[in-house]
Structure 1
Amino acid sequence: MDIHRCRFVQYPAQSINALAFSHTSRPKEKTPSDGRLAVGRQNGDVEVWNPAKGLWVQETILRGRADSTIEHLEWTRDLIVEENADGPEISHGPLRLLSSSGSKQLLEWDISSGSLKRQVEGNSGDIWCFAAQPQLENPKDIKALESGIYSPLVAAGCANGTVVLFSTEDGDLRYLRPLLAPPAKKPKVLSIAWRDRNTIIAGYEDSTIRVIELSTRKILRSMSLGKGPDGNDPVVWAVKYLPDGTIISGDSSGQLKIWNAKNFTLLQTLKSHAADILDIVVNANGDKFFSLGADRRTFSYQHSGSKNLGWVEISHRRYHRHDVKCGAAFESKDLSVLVSGGLDCKPIVVPIRKAQGELHRALSHLPQQPLISASPSSRLFMSWWGNQIVIYQVRKPRNPEEQNFDFDGPTPSSYETLAQLVVQGDEHIQNAQLSADGQFIVAATINGVKLFQLRKTQAAGRPCLRTRQVELPPAIVRLGARQAGFSPDGKWLYTIRKDNTIALNKLVLGSDPKDEPAIHEKTVKLYRVSRKQPKSSLGTYPQTITHVAFSSDSRVLAVGDVSGAIDTWVLEGHEDVDYVEAASDNSDNSSDSSSEDDDEEEDESPVIHAQKWIRNPSGSQLPQLDSSILALTFRPSDHPSISNPVDGNRGLHATRHTAHPVAHELPSSNIRLIAVTATHQVIEFDVLSCRLSEWSRRNPSKYLPHAFTRLKDRVVGCFWDCTDPETHGERLWLYGSNWLFMLDVSQDLQEQNATPVFTTATSAKAKVASLGGYDVVDPVESNPPAATNGHAYKKRKRNTGAGDAIPEHQRPSGVGSTIRKFKNDRADVDMVDMDGDEDVEDQDTDMVGDENGDDSLALMRRRDDQMQQSTKPSDANGDGQPAMPRPTHWCTFEYRSILGVGVIGPSPPESSDLEGKKRGPLEVVIVERDVYDVPKGPRLDVGQEWDT
């Protein structure tokens, strides 16, 4: 495989301005399955992360608009109260995500459709901050509530000093009233928090904190910060409260002030930061809090237990390389983390409960899904961000054996930037894809779809591209899409709409390449099978389609969603472009009205060119997997078209001699689909039989190499290398943000190398789910074998959602996970666990020592050469020695910050030379976009750069 490392591709990583967890911390309860983390970016995008089991999967991105930003995020839930004979019954509505962008609007997002749901103005200028009212939990509190407003109010601070209220009652979001008139000088309200349901704390630009009572709409107390160390009036950037009512403020002078809960007097001032304190985060119990600042430091504080000493700083560290703007904490029985973000674009996960015993962890600043699409026929690939698409061409490497090869001549660039497209409008591109033959580009926004045709030309002796927009049916353009792309043969254009409807349109090319392509008048709409889903506060969000895959012959379509469900459809019949439609074929469903009956599309799906899309006719469903789908791909060797995945002839493919027949012939039965889940299980299905394939039966996920199961960063994408199956096998390449992994699925994984996938264990017994007569192990196994690959196992405490545990011998001197506790004057000593009590069943198993199963690239190529030289019949080399076995897997961490990988070669051979022409090695471009290459502006220099 030939690799082109591309670092010239642009992708402006965006800073993190806001973080918010969907649920409040409950340290004694398990993490809710519907818990999510929202990450707001500078460009207006909102990322939704799933922190379950400490895997940190970025599930989806809610795309923003041009010239917009996210300044603050907040989750809230409506409270539904029903009066019964036994008293009021409380239930919670779905989760709602609100945001502000520094403008006059307060926005609400629909996470199920990925679009803005509503926006409302506060009539008091720009909204600088807002906070949702705490939830009512106790029915007694509801009886005592006189206002009758059960759902949380939202208090927002405005640029003119006004505090306004918004109502979320009845699932709506509307402006309610101003809570407090602005002060005389109208200072900006820069921070706001609810101390309880009737008290609001607001920090102002004029160095003042005001405590406002909701019921009387009066100021209970105004607290002045006084002059800062530099003699200026500090700005109150952050205000928070402790469970006992104590108020904490952080200002632009770097001072942290703690205020009395009853009389609002100043108790303590801590000067830790060298610059502005931009956010404060409090843990669940209120016995610890953190301050984040522009000096890149994160400080943690804990109460000393003494009234005289008060709160003390217990640690500080620079986890970030630039300003830290925001933070959020969540604690449960299995998670205890602080997540912070700032101008360096990376979310940092810091342990709270086991702060002295675990490492922190940096999440990727790049999207979970690749923003790269490539064409192996034309050696083109493209990238996109915002509303821009850039198309590149990679030149073929020069051959030194050529006679006219000039060793002393200038080295030309290995790539050309051929074209740049800008999608009109203010909406960001949701998804874009380049067709396999390099002739078309489709770009989808949430409210529109655009199709472009590419034609190669020459200008001034250099290659260039001419583009023209192809007109699409109004229904496709108007309804928009979250994903869009092409089938491998380039004949079908698919779009995934906001309601998860799959729409397919046939591309029809003219006889002359200069003719504008046409779109068949009929639209195929496919609907998914309804499944029983557990009750969730996320609504229909778990059914959001994230991955689409076509088989190599473009006759099988599969989609996977956030919940781990997979649906498949097949294309029956043979293509006949001269087919004359009968009256019975005119069941056109191209109208933009959607059907609610999931079973009717098999009858309503129109016949196009004597072909029809139907649901998988096996009569059953593929089993729902344990977590969200991260990669979905068909095994390409199942079809003869692997040697020619892009058919240059888009004309007649019917093999029958009957005039205009409508056949019901289905694709071949040997169609296998591989899915990779968020827990890094690799499962292969036989699609038409709806059961596990023979390979997957022989190779359960517990047999996966430890080199793969130990990876922390999740899978981003995949591609295949089947250019020489006899010598190299069928290689499935998976990649993440900082790793590349090869798995040869043409041979069985070695059982003696099996390593269970160990994550957070909740019981001493392994959880096993039966899947079609095959046991798929849920990755929570706690009883591993005594030794594997010659390595011994040891018990270790599970992590709490951040990094791995720090080995005892690597912990700083004087700072460990245990301390001595003396009793009276005797020498009796107890060892006290500083990280909290841990049950035996809450421990994980890890290997003593690390399996270094990663062969070097040179060794891998040497083995390939030896296998090529070996005699196939006898499996021996020229000296009669047996050939070296093919490696089953290989892993490397050489590549950093991978934006995506695209296959650009070899180009498919001509149809007339399928048997005689040997294909060259696979060529891929690996696009790297390191965060250190992104300009982030100047940062504060406080000296002591060595001090972390």
Structure 2
Amino acid sequence: MTHVSLHRCRFVDYTPPQITSIAFSHPSTPSSAHPPPPTLRAAIGRTNGSIEIWNPLGSCWHHESTLQGGQDRSIEGLTWVQDHDATAGKGALRLFSIGYSSVVTEWDLAAGRPKAHLDCNGGVIWSIAAQPRWAGAGAGEEGGEEETAQKIVVGTEDGALTVVSTAGGEMTYVRGLMRAGTSKSRVLSLVWKDRYTVVAGMADSTIRVWDVRSGRSTSRMSLNKEKGREVLVWSVKVLLNGDIVSGDSRGEVCFWDGKNYTLQQRIKSHEGDCLAVEVGGINGDTVISGGVDMRTIVYKHIGGARRWGQTARRRFHKHDVRAMAAYECGKFSAILSGGVDMTPIVIPLRQFGAEHQLALPAIPQTPIITTVPEHRLMMSWWGREIKVWRIEELDGDEMYPLAGQDEERGRKLISRIMLSNEENLTSATITPVPESEDFVLAISTIAEIKLFHLKSSSSEALRVRKITIPTTLTLETSEEDDESDDEPDEIELAKEGARLIKFSPNGKSLLVITPDSRILTVVLTISGGKSPVSFAGSVHELARQDRPTPAVSKQLIHNFQQRSKKGKKRRVEEGSLHPYDRTINRATFSSNSSILAVADLSGWIDTFVLKSGVWCANENGITLPKLKSAAVAMEFRPYVPPTTPPQLTITEKGVEFEELPESQTPDDEDRLLVVTAKDNHILEFNILQGRLSDWSRRNPSERLPHDFRIQKDRAAGIVWEVSSPGSVRAWIWAASWVWMFDLSQDLPAAEAAEEVTGQKRKRDANGSIKAPSEYAAKGESGAGDKVLLGQSRGLVFSAPAKSEKCVITSDDEDDNDTETPFKLIRDKDEDDEKEDEDENPLSNGDSKKLSKPQRNKPFWKTNRYRNLMAFLPVGRKDEFTWGPSGERIEAMEMVVVERPSWDMEMPPRFYQGTA
């Protein structure tokens, strides 16, 4: 039996940056019957200059990578283009951004950093838009490279428009369009009406239209000033029939005729500025808007006169809605929105009201917190700052100080490092110095790597001293080179930069995953003294397995090249993300530091084995199968010696015990547990044998609990609890849930799994008992689950975890809908909570909880924590005797780091209505 004490921590003051812009990689094709292309991605820009790349995966949204920004940088606009490929539509997908400067930046997705910059030689750029993709040559049109390539238009603060070409894989200046209006007419928003017409929303109460070929402004639409103030047109979009929709600072949504550019209709929708407008629907019959009043409003054609009217409104956000992006293809029909409240929310478009919204985690999906359990240290990093705490041992009620008591009890900040460079941190790792209380810290940005010596002092604080990395180290590769006379290559490790950096458990190897996903290992010797780190003099680059790229089928080429009237319903151009799909996103060492595994976004796992101090490719690694989706969490099962006594031999000298050599790898050490992004599949591999483990063969993903497979948040980490070969439990955690799986036993069959969860069955609106599989019908739009009969479409608000109570809040105090007040959906009712306490394998630190016998469950779950940033061990494992029977109990401590949204600082709302 294991006694687990939890340190529930909320002192980590991480605040996500605000969302400023959102863009999908593909244009919507609502008339297509095909599912979205597998290369579909969404880019989310934030105020710290970072760009998040999300993969919708149907409705299993996966945060794949982050293109890190830096100090005083902000992403104010995003757009994608696709290089033209006349053969099969497999042109490269490219991402561009703007941000409070006169420069347009193209990003290298695979390397995670800017690829090129182009100065438009004008004022600060306020808006950006990409030309519609080439649809084939018509009468009088030639399909040259310059014509088929997508152009980009940007609008500046002085009212000028600049056209940029993306032909040939580069950015080049094409021309500046004729300035219209005064020099103070900022271009706030842009959209292409067709491949040669641009519509711009201005800051001088006008909407202007330009012809790109002539460079002249051809039309002007005026808006009435409000109390003598200029109207700011924050957003403009074009419907399928060519009509124009705008949202402005008056809170109005206006509809304009796309032929004669006259006002058709205007609707006063928002109490403040309307900041974002999006369009959708199979026939272009849906418009959705968001603004500073936090409302999201849907408009559709009503009546026989084809007039527009509001059909629904909700408050999904808790602050200004600054950005929206819509995508439709097949059954996928959703809008991704975000703003000052930092949380991306996926809203169903066609199924608005019939399906729930889906709130994506605002906290990082790659953990930014780690611990050194044996020294009770916890470290966090984000931006340009690193903090190190010491977690104190607390007993009983001291773990939960009462109101008014010292909230600093239980931890102490012992080190804080602020970097002088401009780039944001990408990764950090820490390892103890043997036989001392010192530590070695390694941090990385996209441009450099740094090492620090954290030296203990009498004041408990850690003194920080930078460790110099040799400027030139020999680069050794695992590939054999016949030309042995060539001089070896050298590498300046400090300036390589890294997307991921990690010490091996024994501290003798430093793993560096470079921005372009090369695998470098550095052999280190860490010891006490003034120079705690010495380098071996060489850096070893590990070669990854060559993986086959998906072939372009003849049928795909045939379908793509058949241009006809039905072409719109054919499969859309997929585009290519290679080599971004080979980006390494996870890496881990075995507990004895002898095996290394790295995984990439395409689902491949490369493994390496340490032989005679040199990392070599695993001979059987090539037989490991490709995962159906990227690995989001993976850890090796730690080895635990068997409890049976060792074999002994009686000799003349006495009793001698048989010992295994240190170089021998135990059989259990090579078992790698992996959780995938799609449907939370759990797989365990025997790495050295290149196959699934026996447990994974007996327990395919279909036998995993249904509630686990439908979890919306992706797994973020795995923690092992192994006390003996017969007691192996894996704790898998995400932003909103924690699951435990006992790998020492098999999972129950599907029909038996319902009883194992220990939850009472729910009842529908008619009082009938439902099976767990009926609790939530999976939606098809890419957002949340379907709204069940008798369930309202209102929002569900989570109360702060401190109170453990729920508060029902109306989603709009002046909503005129006449539907029944919605029911509050909780993870568990009171009876379930009591039952959960009896069967909970965790204990809150009070040893009295152990008086009740615990069932040996194959799995267990909790949704008690929100915005969970870390679920990690801290402290050494201890054993003690419990009860009159003398049962041996193993004690284990964990830190649960939460960052509740209600505790995050946000600027004051412009609109003070009910949120």
- Which of 885, 888, 893 is residue 863 of structure 2 equivalent to? 893
> Could you tell me the percent identity over the aligned residues?
35
8 Å contact 2:877–2:891 — kept in the other structure?
no
Q: What CA distance in whole angstroms lies between the structure 2 residues aligned with 1:324 and 1:410?
A: 38
Residue number in structure 1 paired with 2:901? 931
Q: What per-residue deviation string (whole Å, max 9, x for no partner) do you get for residues 697-733 of structure 1?
A: 111111112342232211111111224666xx21111
1:37 to 1:854, Cα distance in 2 relative to 1, 3 A: farther
- Which of 243, 250, 269 is residue 253 of structure 1 equivalent to? 250
1:919 to 1:265, Cα distance in 2 relative to 1, 3 A: same
Shift of 1:852: 7.2
Q: What CA distance in whole angstroms lies between the structure 2 residues aligned with 1:73 and 1:211?
A: 21
Residue number in structure 2 paired with 1:544? 583
- Which of 403, 414, 419 is residue 423 of structure 1 equivalent to? 419
Q: Are 2:904 and 1:902 aligned?
A: no
1:600-615 equivalences in 2 (<5 Å): 611-615=613-617
Residue number in structure 1 paired with 2:101? 103
1:157-172 equivalences in 2 (<5 Å): 157-172=155-170
Shift of 1:132: 0.6
Shift of 1:634: 0.5
8 Å contact 2:501–2:511 — kept in the other structure?
yes
- Alignment partner of 1:477: what SS? helix
Which segment drifts farther, 23-32 or 316-325? 23-32
Residue number in structure 2 paired with 1:635? 637
- Alignment partner of 1:170: what SS? helix
- Alignment partner of 1:523: what SS? strand
8 Å contact 1:120–1:174 — kept in the other structure?
yes
Code of the residue aligned with 1:936 in structure 2: it is M
8 Å contact 1:380–1:904 — kept in the other structure?
yes
Code of the residue aligned with 2:273 in structure 1: it is D
1:421 to 1:751, Cα distance in 2 relative to 1, 3 A: same
- Alignment partner of 1:921: what SS? strand
Q: What CA distance in whole angstroms lies between the structure 2 residues aligned with 1:795 and 1:125?
A: 51
Residue number in structure 2 paired with 1:242? 239
Residue number in structure 2 paired with 1:458? 458
Q: What per-residue deviation string (whole Å, max 9, x for no partner) do you get for residues 457-511 of structure 1?
A: 123xxx110121112233211111110010011111110012211111111134x
- Alignment partner of 1:149: what SS? helix
1:288-437 equivalences in 2 (<5 Å): 288-304=286-302, 306-307=304-305, 310-398=307-395, 413-435=409-431
Residue number in structure 2 paired with 1:123? 121
Q: What CA distance in whole angstroms lies between the structure 2 residues aligned with 1:275 and 1:3?
A: 45
Shift of 1:753: 4.7
1:379 to 1:508, Cα distance in 2 relative to 1, 3 A: same
8 Å contact 1:160–1:182 — kept in the other structure?
no
Code of the residue aligned with 2:419 in structure 1: it is V
Structure 2: where are the runs of 5+ without partners? Answer: 399-403, 472-491, 552-574, 644-660, 755-768, 795-828, 880-887
- Which of 831, 834, 840 is residue 860 of structure 1 equivalent to? 840
Residue number in structure 1 paired with 2:786? 805
1:858 to 1:457, Cα distance in 2 relative to 1, 3 A: farther
1:399 to 1:709, Cα distance in 2 relative to 1, 3 A: closer
Residue number in structure 2 paired with 1:571? 610
Code of the residue aligned with 2:715 in structure 1: it is V
8 Å contact 1:566–1:622 — kept in the other structure?
yes
Shift of 1:798: 4.1
1:752 to 1:792, Cα distance in 2 relative to 1, 3 A: closer
Code of the residue aligned with 1:734 in structure 2: it is I
TM-score in terms of structure 1 length: 0.78
8 Å contact 2:503–2:509 — kept in the other structure?
yes
Shift of 1:515: 3.5
8 Å contact 1:906–1:920 — kept in the other structure?
no
8 Å contact 1:436–1:488 — kept in the other structure?
no
8 Å contact 2:298–2:313 — kept in the other structure?
yes
Residue number in structure 2 paired with 1:532? 548
1:270 to 1:519, Cα distance in 2 relative to 1, 3 A: same
Residue number in structure 2 paired with 1:39? 44
Q: What per-residue deviation string (whole Å, max 9, x for no partner) do you get for residues 318-373 of structure 1?
A: 11110000101111213111111010011111111211311111111011111101
Q: What CA distance in whole angstroms lies between the structure 2 residues aligned with 1:436 and 1:329?
A: 49
Shift of 1:637: 2.7
Q: What CA distance in whole angstroms lies between the structure 2 residues aligned with 1:369 and 1:2?
A: 25
Specify which structure has the bigger relative contact order, considering alpha-carbon pairs within 8 angstroms and separated by 6 or more residues.
2
Q: What CA distance in whole angstroms lies between the structure 1 residues aligned with 2:124 and 2:405?
A: 60
Q: What CA distance in whole angstroms lies between the structure 2 residues aligned with 1:31 and 1:558?
A: 31
Q: Are 2:427 and 1:447 aligned?
A: no
8 Å contact 2:699–2:746 — kept in the other structure?
yes
Residue number in structure 1 paired with 2:179? 181
Q: What CA distance in whole angstroms lies between the structure 1 residues aligned with 2:610 and 2:728?
A: 26
Residue number in structure 1 paired with 2:627? 625
8 Å contact 1:552–1:639 — kept in the other structure?
no
8 Å contact 1:191–1:202 — kept in the other structure?
yes
Q: What per-residue deviation string (whole Å, max 9, x for no partner) do you get for residues 174-223 of structure 1?
A: 22221123533441111111101111111111111111111111111111
Q: What CA distance in whole angstroms lies between the structure 2 residues aligned with 1:248 and 1:862?
A: 55
Q: What CA distance in whole angstroms lies between the structure 2 residues aligned with 1:793 and 1:934?
A: 35
Residue number in structure 2 paired with 1:645? none
1:685 to 1:226, Cα distance in 2 relative to 1, 3 A: same
Code of the residue aligned with 2:454 in structure 1: it is L
8 Å contact 2:499–2:515 — kept in the other structure?
yes
1:136 to 1:439, Cα distance in 2 relative to 1, 3 A: same
Q: What CA distance in whole angstroms lies between the structure 1 residues aligned with 2:363 and 2:598?
A: 23
Q: What CA distance in whole angstroms lies between the structure 2 residues aligned with 1:113 and 1:142?
A: 41
Q: What CA distance in whole angstroms lies between the structure 2 residues aligned with 1:18 and 1:458?
A: 49
Code of the residue aligned with 1:557 in structure 2: it is L
- Alignment partner of 1:377: what SS? helix
Q: What CA distance in whole angstroms lies between the structure 1 residues aligned with 2:245 and 2:181?
A: 22
Q: What per-residue deviation string (whole Å, max 9, x for no partner) do you get for residues 5-61 of structure 1?
A: 111112121111111111112232211111011111111111111101200111111
Residue number in structure 2 paired with 1:648? none
- Alignment partner of 2:697: what SS? helix
Code of the residue aligned with 2:451 in structure 1: it is L
1:638 to 1:725, Cα distance in 2 relative to 1, 3 A: closer
Shift of 1:613: 1.1
Q: What per-residue deviation string (whole Å, max 9, x for no partner) do you get for residues 571-619 of structure 1?
A: 113xxxxxxxxxxxxxxxxxxxxxxxxxxxxxxxxxxxxx211111236
Shift of 1:746: 1.4
Code of the residue aligned with 2:255 in structure 1: it is I
8 Å contact 2:244–2:257 — kept in the other structure?
yes
Q: What CA distance in whole angstroms lies between the structure 2 residues aligned with 1:710 and 1:854?
A: 25
- Alignment partner of 2:218: what SS? strand
1:925 to 1:197, Cα distance in 2 relative to 1, 3 A: same
- Which of 264, 267, 277 is residue 267 of structure 1 equivalent to? 264
1:850 to 1:706, Cα distance in 2 relative to 1, 3 A: farther
Q: What CA distance in whole angstroms lies between the structure 2 residues aligned with 1:885 and 1:363?
A: 34
8 Å contact 2:201–2:208 — kept in the other structure?
yes
Residue number in structure 1 paired with 2:535? 519
- Alignment partner of 2:115: what SS? strand
Shift of 1:262: 1.3
Residue number in structure 2 paired with 1:676? 675
- Alignment partner of 2:417: what SS? strand
TM-score in terms of structure 2 length: 0.81
Q: What CA distance in whole angstroms lies between the structure 2 residues aligned with 1:664 and 1:620?
A: 27
Q: Are 2:506 and 1:489 aligned?
A: yes
1:198 to 1:739, Cα distance in 2 relative to 1, 3 A: same
Q: What CA distance in whole angstroms lies between the structure 2 residues aligned with 1:940 and 1:62?
A: 30
Residue number in structure 2 paired with 1:9? 12
8 Å contact 1:376–1:436 — kept in the other structure?
no
8 Å contact 1:570–1:667 — kept in the other structure?
no
Q: What CA distance in whole angstroms lies between the structure 2 residues aligned with 1:20 and 1:278?
A: 15
- Which of 733, 741, 746 is residue 748 of structure 1 equivalent to? 746
8 Å contact 1:567–1:621 — kept in the other structure?
no
8 Å contact 1:79–1:91 — kept in the other structure?
yes
1:865 to 1:468, Cα distance in 2 relative to 1, 3 A: closer
Structure 1: where are the runs of 5+ without partners? Answer: 82-88, 402-407, 574-610, 642-662, 757-787, 814-848, 871-882, 910-917
8 Å contact 2:389–2:413 — kept in the other structure?
yes
Count of paired positions: 784
8 Å contact 2:5–2:842 — kept in the other structure?
no
